[in-house]
Amino acid sequence: MNWIPAWVPPNFITLASSACLWVALGLVATRHVWSPVTLGLALAVLSHGYLVYDQVDGMHAKKTGASSALGEFLDHYLDTYHGAILIVALFALFDFAHPTLALVILWSSHLAFAATMLEERERKELVLGALGSLEAVLLFTAFFLSWLSPAARAWWSAPLLGGWPAYAWLVGIGGLGSMFAAGECLWRIGRVPVEFAVFAVGSFALTLWVGSTPLPFAWAAAIVVLFCSDYTGRVIGSHLLGRPAPWPDWPALGFLALAVVAGASYARMSGGALVVWLAFRTSWISVETFLALRSDWRWANATPRLS
């Protein structure tokens, strides 16, 4: 880490690592402009850049004595979106041939992350499994690198058991692993908090609903990601600020019930309204938590400790 000046606040490193994956999302949105080799290489480089600096920010914070509650919030909360971007990028390479599977994998990864943050809140201890976020990003990076080979691209799309392609089996196993990881967190907690149970059931119902409607995939994914990230962000905030355990967003769940009753003919209207509401909701939670922790923000490390 000697290449990072001691005066650089770790929060800026966190934001820089996050920027790598938001650039990756931009490439995904314009994927038809790029050749498969260029896109695969760019995604591999950006995911690896994110991984490096996502590990460095905490190390730099400890080395310079600049650890803070705001830094922990930024690191963990932004990761709720980073995992989703990597999953979307993987499915984008196959032009979202299995959109419902992609939505379920998004849900399962958020379930595991929410359970991990809940365990930290309940037990005051952050426990990472044998296959944690670091190993997961390494696997994504390896997958993106495999995209440089035409033979590998063909193999990933080749049908295997049940006619499902190889990549679908890969991410399906990963999704099961995420649900198992969530179960491990709850087992260590020793109970299933009712707030988390409502979140798990409600978010799964929301995922199934958006997957059954003619909503564009971008809208459907945004609804799942925003709903889950909102809850996870408030779990993190409640842990750092000593607030009561949060519930998932009730207006969104109520809106889901109304949308189901209204039927598929109102899916676009319902989905658009949900995206707008959840975007506002998550923005508000982010601003509220940042303001509560704003005293931790640093433009520079005033007194770095490099011992």
Give exposure, 273-289, as e/b (b: 16+ Cβ within 10 Å).
Answer: ebbebbeebbeebbeeb
pLDDT for 58 beyond 50: yes
Rounded to a whole number, what is the largest CA-CA distance in the chain?
64
Lowest mean pLDDT among 40-44, 65-69, 199-203: 65-69
Distance in angstroms (rounded) separating the CA atoms of residues 96 and 105: 13
pLDDT for 2 beyond 70: no
CA neighbor of 23 nearest in space, from 10, 42, 5: 42
* pLDDT value of position 1: 54
Which amino acid makes up residue 282? Answer: T
Q: In DSSP terms, which residues pair with 159 in a beta bridge?
A: 165
Predicted structure pTM score: 0.94
**Mean pLDDT on 33-52:** 95
* pLDDT over 90, % of the chain: 73
* pLDDT band, residue 42 (cuts 50/70/90): very high
pLDDT for 59 beyond 90: no
* pLDDT band, residue 307 (cuts 50/70/90): very low
Question: What are the pLDDT digits (tens) for 188-206?
Answer: 999 999 999 999 999 999 9
* pLDDT value of position 211: 92
What is the number of other CB atoms lying within 10 angstroms of the CB of residue 168? 22
Distance in angstroms (rounded) separating the CA atoms of residues 73 and 149: 39
Question: What are the pLDDT digits (tens) for 110-144?
Answer: 999 999 999 999 999 888 766 677 788 999 999 99
Mean pLDDT estimate for the chain: 91
Q: Are 113 and 232 in contact (CB under 8 A)?
A: yes
Q: Are 232 and 117 in contact (CB under 8 A)?
A: yes
239 vs 261 pLDDT, higher one: 239
What phi, psi does 159 have (nearest 5°)?
-70, 140
**Mean pLDDT on 146-169:** 93
* pLDDT value of position 66: 85
* Per-position DSSP letters for 253-274, written without gaps between them: HHHHHHHHHH-GGGHHHHHHHH
Query: What SS3 state is found at 222?
Result: helix
Q: Where are the domains of the chain?
A: 10-296
pLDDT for 303 beyond 70: no
pLDDT for 262 beyond 90: no
**Mean pLDDT on 289-306:** 80
* pLDDT value of position 29: 94
Q: How far is CA 206 from the centre of its chain?
A: 17
